[in-house]
Amino acid sequence: MLFETSLQVGSIPIVLVLGECLTATRLFLNLLIAQDDLSGSVVIGVKQDTLDPIRHARLIELPRLEFSAQDSCLCCGMHGALGDALRQIFFQALKDRSKQLDRVLIESDSIEPSQLAHTLRHTPFLGQRYFHQMTLRVVCPSQPSNASSHHMDEWQACLSGLKGLDPFSNQSRQMLILSLPQAQFNAEQFKSWSEQVKLQLPYKEVFYLSSDGVSDVNLLQKMLGLGTNNK
């Protein structure tokens, strides 16, 4: 099962939902948490007025935090709000056992998997209660000026950018979601690009979802191994 729950694994899974373009990341996050299988999740989201609201009852919003490659720990100094939120979620679950805590989803445009791994290793309270289950990274190639363009420049630039990102942890699952308006999507380009990604990067699962709201929910359910959505 892709989204194992805390009851199944004995500690609380953390799923990172990452992307430099928060608009696309938020669209994907809302589509994801609308699925029945994820109803027991708590979401830590970015508080930003320009984004669509997160449509989930169990939500903690934090100001957008600027993390850099030098910030190995996500709970130290000015970034303590994230660690505080994870502690708050745990103690709230202890206090109110009527609400099952299946997992925590963290939305961000700057956290990297190695930083989360470092934090869980070096913050015993969190490391004994949470584990990094999965990273879902949303990427948005620059849109070509000509919608019918078949040039691969934008896709290659996106691939090059991915190569410069954080080293991967073998202990968590990594999935890549390409977000692009349907009018800009070219199935032939995507197939070629995804094959390059799988050859050159540790991503073995690469998917496309439309960024303009016309995504096929059945495709999302199939790619993430989810059940039905009755919302």
The answer to whether position 230 is within a domain reads no
Q: Which domain holds residue 192?
A: 6-224
Name the token pair of 170: 């073998």
The answer to whether position 55 is within a domain reads yes
Number of domains in the chain: 1
pTM of the predicted structure, to 2 decimals: 0.84
The answer to whether position 22 is within a domain reads yes
Q: CA torsion sign, 157 to 159 to 162 to 167? A: negative
Supply the CATH number for residue 50's domain.
3.40.50.300
Per-residue model confidence as pLDDT tens digits over 188-222: 888 888 888 888 887 878 888 887 755 556 666 66
The answer to whether position 121 is within a domain reads yes
Per-residue model confidence as pLDDT tens digits over 130-154: 999 989 999 887 654 444 444 556 7
14 against 176, higher pLDDT: 14
The answer to whether position 229 is within a domain reads no
The answer to whether position 89 is within a domain reads yes
The answer to whether position 215 is within a domain reads yes
Q: Is the confidence at residue 231, as pLDDT, over 50?
A: no
35 against 90, higher pLDDT: 90
Mean pLDDT over each residue of the chain, to the nearest integer:
79
Hey, how many other C-beta atoms are within 10 angstroms of the C-beta on 150? 9
The answer to whether position 1 is within a domain reads no
40 against 1, higher pLDDT: 40
Give the closest residue to 133 by CA, choosing from 177, 103, 109.
Answer: 103
Name the token pair of 42: 């708590």
Count how many residues are written for the chain.
231
